[in-house]
Amino acid sequence: MQQVSISRLTTRIVTSSVLAMLVTLGMGHTLAAQQNVQFASSNSADAELTFSADIAPILQENCQVCHQEGSIGPMPLMTYQDARRYARRIKDMVVQREMPPYQYDTDTGIQDLKYDPRMSEEDIATIVAWVDSDMAEGNPADMPPPVEWPDPTEFTLAQRFGAPDVVVVSDPFDVPEIGQDLWWQPSVPSGISTPRCIRAIETKAVSVDGRAVTHHANTTFRGGDGGGGRLSEYALGKVGEIIPEGACRTAPANGQVSFDIHYWPNGVQVDGAQVKVGIWLYPEGYEGDHRQTLTLYGLQGGRGFDIAPHGSLMTQGFHTFRTPVRVDSFQPHGHTRLVAASLRILRENGRTEMVGMVSNWSALWHHSHIFEDGVAPLLDVGDKLILTSWYDNTVDNRYNPDPDQWVSIGDRTADEMSHFWIAVTHLDEEGIEKIRADRQARPVLDRD
The rounded distance, in Å, linking the Cα atoms of 414 and 94 is 29
Top-level class of domain 293-436: mainly beta
Residue 7 confidence (pLDDT): 31
pLDDT digits (tens, 9 = 90+) for 141-163: 999 999 988 777 889 999 899 99
Return the half-sphere exposure (C-beta side, CA atoms, 13 A cut-off) of residue 158: 16
What SS3 state is found at 89?
helix
Phi and psi for 300 in degrees, rounded to 5? -65, 140
Say how many C-beta atoms besides its own lie within 10 A of residue 51's C-beta: 24
Kindly report each contact of residues 295-300 with a partner whose C-beta sits within 8 Å and lies 24 or more positions away, as own/partner: 295/230, 295/421, 295/422, 295/424, 296/233, 296/419, 296/420, 296/421, 297/385, 297/387, 297/419, 297/420, 297/421, 297/422, 298/387, 298/417, 298/418, 298/419, 298/420, 299/418, 299/419
Angle CA 285–277–399, to nearest 5: 135
Residue 34 confidence (pLDDT): 34
The mean per-residue pLDDT over the stretch 260-279 comes to: 94
**Which is more confidently placed, 5 or 186?**
186
pLDDT digits (tens, 9 = 90+) for 204-244: 999 888 888 998 899 999 988 866 789 999 988 888 999 99
The mean per-residue pLDDT over the stretch 129-133 comes to: 95
Say how many C-beta atoms besides its own lie within 10 A of residue 424's C-beta: 25
What SS3 state is found at 377?
coil
Q: Is the pLDDT of residue 46 over 70?
A: no
Q: Is the pLDDT of residue 112 over 90?
A: yes
The mean per-residue pLDDT over the stretch 374-399 comes to: 96
Q: Is the pLDDT of residue 367 over 50?
A: yes
The DSSP code sequence of 215-266 is EEEEEEEESSBS--EEEEEEETT---EEPPTTEEEEEPBT-EEEEEEEE---
Burial of 145 (0-12, 13-18, 19+ CB in 10 A): exposed
pLDDT digits (tens, 9 = 90+) for 332-347: 999 999 999 999 999 9
Residue-wise burial string across 171-182, b where 16 or more C-beta atoms lie within 10 A, e elsewhere = eebebeeeeeeb
pLDDT digits (tens, 9 = 90+) for 284-332: 999 999 999 999 998 876 678 999 999 999 999 999 999 999 999 999 9
Residues 6+ apart with CB under 8 A from 3: 29, 30, 33, 34, 36, 37, 105, 106, 107
Phi-psi region of 301 (alpha: psi -120 to 50; beta: other; left: phi over 0): left
Kindly report which listed range (78-87, 145-154, 289-298, 370-379) carries the lowest average pLDDT score: 145-154
- Dmax (CA) for the chain in angstroms is 65
Residue 225 confidence (pLDDT): 81
Residue 372 confidence (pLDDT): 95
pLDDT digits (tens, 9 = 90+) for 392-415: 999 999 999 999 999 999 888 889
Say how many C-beta atoms besides its own lie within 10 A of residue 351's C-beta: 9
Say how many C-beta atoms besides its own lie within 10 A of residue 289's C-beta: 15
Say how many C-beta atoms besides its own lie within 10 A of residue 112's C-beta: 11
Residue 70 confidence (pLDDT): 74
Residue 239 confidence (pLDDT): 87
Domain definitions of the chain by residue range: 2-142, 158-288, 293-436
Give 442's pLDDT tier (boundaries 50, 70, 90): confident
Cα dist. 210→180, 205, 207, 277 in Å?
A: 16, 5, 5, 14
DSSP lists the bridge partners of residue 241 as 201
Return the closest-CA partner of residue 233 out of 370, 333, 365. Answer: 333
Q: Is the pLDDT of residue 26 over 60?
A: no
Residue 435 C-alpha from the chain's centroid? 26
The rounded distance, in Å, linking the Cα atoms of 448 and 441 is 13
Helix axes 30-42, 2-12, angle to 10 degrees: 140
Q: Looking at the domain 158-288, which fold is it?
A: Jelly Rolls (2.60.120)
pLDDT digits (tens, 9 = 90+) for 431-440: 999 999 999 9
